[in-house]
Structure 1
């Protein structure tokens, strides 16, 4: 059996943020006292003049980033997604999003799987929060390669960007020459019976579920949606018109995230029967990864069961 290559997003992130800090005079890494966990400590250690430590003070950190950006610099604010999206929301909205400043925000430890930290550190609402902000780009990469491509695209983009990263290792889905573009979806598997539109970490689990469903005679089309805002509406409509059954999958609340975004597009332009796979309207808890995925319905086996039931009842 061929071993599946995996990698931690934060490891690729640390490589790229150091390179950007070294080569781009505008780039500064701005940390909220989590550099060891997010891996921004590589900048602190190797390019200390480009590293700013703000401490456990996220509101101040984003205000500082606003000031830096107003002078022509490009600060990268890095902390856990739960803290970035909720503790500093007012500063992000008023001081960064409204004036459309060139601040890059990286939410590490997103979703359910945050290393046994529990509900205080889990971010199940960050996509919903950031996609409501005018002028904001929202990206949820699926693997290490896409992390790098998204970071380079963000570096080239003039305006606020939120990038959602996971803590643990995930399978490589893309080759190193993958051509990532902000606002463009990627069809990873063609299918005819049901479409699954997935984002971020849930995309690899979706592909595995699609393989198992194929063995049961259900042809699943898998569309990876790395950019939740701006959304690739054409890709959504194309796959919906092809199968007339759409499932969304995300390691996030089903309220306000990818599922809601896709439902908005289909509701307005091509009403289609839908199923949203994500965390229901509840808080999660601390537990090992596989137990969390199973309890909150995001494991491969849960996805197989839910998609099969949805397809058979359609």
Structure 2
């Protein structure tokens, strides 16, 4: 898809490129470049949708524009990394993870190059653009690639912290972010450490393990559940790989049931990763995987889709209550 718009406007087909997470990308890269880090940005004709136009205006020599040739873009990013640069390569998550899977695996991960892949507008956040533009398989694909770190941040502040932390991280990274309209979960500066989950609450009845866009509605759902006397915990599992196994094991010993929440197919993503840890333990508590149930996502405004799939606060609360009831705890 080609991107055309008035250069004086930040509005593109209803998407606001100045929204928190996406402006964060340009703002953080500008700061890192000013500090002397060898960062460059690479995109496929989406510099307005991902906010990299803000980086291009300040550091025009550091933005590489490839048009709608995403596979070439990823291979070129690998080439840039061999010359001492740290490329941040950004396009829609559906294109990056699916279309460019071979280039990510062979040119970047197999070659152990410090490329940072930014899959934006992930999950079902592109709404009316259609199922072909929804990314509900990307976590499963990316976490199956050896030596590739996979991160799904909750908001702009956490994304900025993750970008900064990546300056000293040895592996290539796939960052999964949403549209950039993310509600605030963390104040700046946000806590972030690769492979170290953030414990919001501890609970004996149920622990919700969420990632990315699902952290904020999970926070709201847990507030309601706890105010009603339910002993429900919440973990922000921002790093899908390497996974914080210790946090999962601790929650499994504390809670009678675990529930993963993700804007992704329930197969292979966060739910699959947690299930693998619990299977290794043997005799672990029941796990409920909440997300998109192995189907192609529908076409509608994102808000309608979140309600339909019960991925809003109300839906997550309802699923949590059902999980608690199934344990005989209601």
Q: TM-score range by the shorter chain?
A: over 0.9
Q: Using the TM superposition, name which of 299-308 and 86-95 deviates more.
A: 299-308
**3-state DSSP of counterpart to 2:212:** coil
* 8 Å CA contact retained: 2:158, 2:191: no
Q: Residue 201 of structure 1 aligns to a residue in which SS?
A: helix
Larger mean Cα displacement after TM superposition, 229-238 or 289-298: 289-298
Q: Partner residue of 2:48? A: 36
8 Å contact kept, 1:137–1:230? yes
Deviation at 1:178, TM superposition (A): 3.2
Matches for 1:243-258 after TM superposition, within 5 Å: 243-258=255-270
Moved more, 197-206 or 216-225: 216-225
Structure 2 gaps of 5+ residues are 1-18
Q: Quick one: distance in 2 between partners of 1:175 and 1:94?
A: 37
Which of 259, 266, 279 pairs up with 2:292? 279
Q: Runs of 5+ in structure 1 lacking a partner?
A: 1-6
Q: How much does 1:167 deviate? A: 0.3
Aligned counterpart, 1:211: 223
Tell me what 1:141 maps to. Answer: 153
**Corresponding residue of 1:4:** none
Query: What are the Cα deviations for residues 18-53 of structure 1, in whole angstroms up to 9, with x where unaligned?
Result: 222333352110011100000011122221100100
Residue 68 (structure 1) aligned with residue 61 (structure 2): no
Match of 1:174 in 2: 186
How many residues are matched?
308
What is the CA–CA distance in structure 2 between the aligned matches of 1:280 and 1:69, rounded to whole Å?
38
Q: Secondary structure at the match of 1:178?
A: coil
SS of structure 2 residue aligned to 1:123: coil
CA 1:25–1:301 in structure 2 vs 1: closer, same or farther (change >3 Å)?
closer
The superposition leaves residues 59-88 of structure 1 with CA deviations (integer Å, 9 ceiling, x where unpaired) of 100110111111221111110101100111
Q: Which of 283, 295, 311 matches 2:308? A: 295
2:31 aligned with 1:19 = yes
Deviates more, 1:7-16 or 1:260-269: 7-16
The normalised TM-score by structure 2 is 0.90
CA distance, structure 1, for counterparts of residue 193 and residue 227 of structure 2: 33
Question: 1:134–1:291: structure 2 CA closer, same or farther, 3 Å change rule?
Answer: same
Moved more, 145-154 or 114-123: 114-123
Q: Give distance in 1, aligned partners of 2:224 and 2:99.
A: 40
Q: Match of 2:4?
A: none
Counterpart-to-counterpart distance in 1, 2:59 and 2:146: 33
Q: Tell me the distance in 2 between the aligned counterparts of 1:242 and 1:115.
A: 38
Q: Which 10-residue stretch deviates more, 19-28 or 163-172?
A: 19-28
Q: Which residue of structure 2 aligns with residue 98 of structure 1?
A: 110
Alignment partners' CA distance in 2, 1:296 and 1:203 = 16
Match of 1:123 in 2: 135
Report the counterpart of residue 80 of structure 1 in structure 2.
92
Q: Distance in 1 between matches of 2:147 and 2:160?
A: 22
Q: Per-residue deviation at 1:115?
A: 5.1
Displacement of 1:156 after TM fit?
Answer: 2.0
Counterpart residue number, 1:228:
240
Q: How big is the shift at 1:212?
A: 1.7
Of 18, 22, 44 in structure 2, the residue corresponding to residue 10 of structure 1 is: 22
Looking at structure 2, the residues matched to 25 and 243 of structure 1 have their Cα atoms a distance apart, in angstroms, of 44
User: SS at 2:147's partner residue?
Assistant: coil
What TM-score does the superposition give when structure 1 sets the normalisation length?
Answer: 0.94
Task: Tell me if the contact between 1:17 and 1:40 (Cα under 8 Å) persists in the aligned partners.
Answer: no
